[in-house]
Amino acid sequence: MRADTERKVRKFIEDNFLFREDRLGIADSESLLDAGLIDSTSVLELVAFLESEFGLRMADAEIVPENLDSIRAIVAFVEGKHAVAAA
C-alpha cells in the first residue's frame, strides 16, 4: 500500500515537475522547494492530484511544506489521511 502510494507520487512528480532525464530522479527526502521544482501553481497541481488520485480532501491549513515538500512527506501525509479515514 505504502509502496504503491510512493510509486504514484513519484511518477506524478517526475512527469510533471522534473522533465529532464539527465537528472537522475529525485531523492525521497529532497525538498521540492529547494530543488526549484515547485511554484505556487505546482502546489495546486499537486493538491489536485492527491485529491483525485487518493480520494482525499485537503484543508487549506494542510497545504504546508511540512506535508508536501518531499516525496517522503507527501507519502506520510497521504498514509496518515488514510489511517484517519480507516479508524
Partner 1 sequence: MCGIAGFFGRPNLAVPARALVRRMIDAVAHRGPDAQGFFVGDEIGLGHARLSILDLASGQQPMANADKSVWISFNGEIFNYVELREELITRGRRFATTSDTEIILQLYEELGPDCVTRVNGDFAFALWDARRRRLMLARDRMGVRPLYYTRRNGTLYFASEVKALLEVPGVSAELDPIALDQIFTFWFPLAPRTAFKHIDELKPAHVLIADPHGTVVRPYWTLDYPRLGEEGPHDARAEAAVAEEVEHLLLDATRIRLRADVPVGAYLSGGLDSSLVAAAAKRFVAERLRTFSLTFDSAEFDESEHQQAMVRALGTAHESVACTAADIARLFPQAIRHGEKPILRTAPAPLLALSHLAHRNGFKVVLTGEGADEVFAGYDLFKEAKLRRFCARQPESRRRPLLFRRLYPYLPGLQAQSPKYLAAFFGAGIGPLDDPLFSHLPRLRTTAGAKAFFSRELRATLGGYDALAELRESLPAEFARWHPLSQAQYLETAYLLPGYILSSQGDRVAMAHAVEGRFPFLDHRVVELGARIPPQLKLNGLREKHILRKSAERLLPAAIANRTKQPYRAPDAQAFVGPDCPDDVTRCLGAADLAAAGYFDANAVERLVAKCRNGKFIGFRDNTAFVGILSTQLWQREFAAAGADTTIESDVA
Chain positions contacting partner 1, by CB under 8 A? 15-16, 19-22, 33, 36, 39-45, 48, 60-61, 63-66
- Minimum CB separation of residue 87 from partner 1 in Å reads 26
What are the Cα distances from residue 9, in Å, to 35, 53, 65? 17, 9, 16
> Which residue lies nearer to partner 1 by CB, 2 or 65?
65
> Which residue lies nearer to partner 1 by CB, 40 or 87?
40
> Which residue lies nearer to partner 1 by CB, 40 or 86?
40
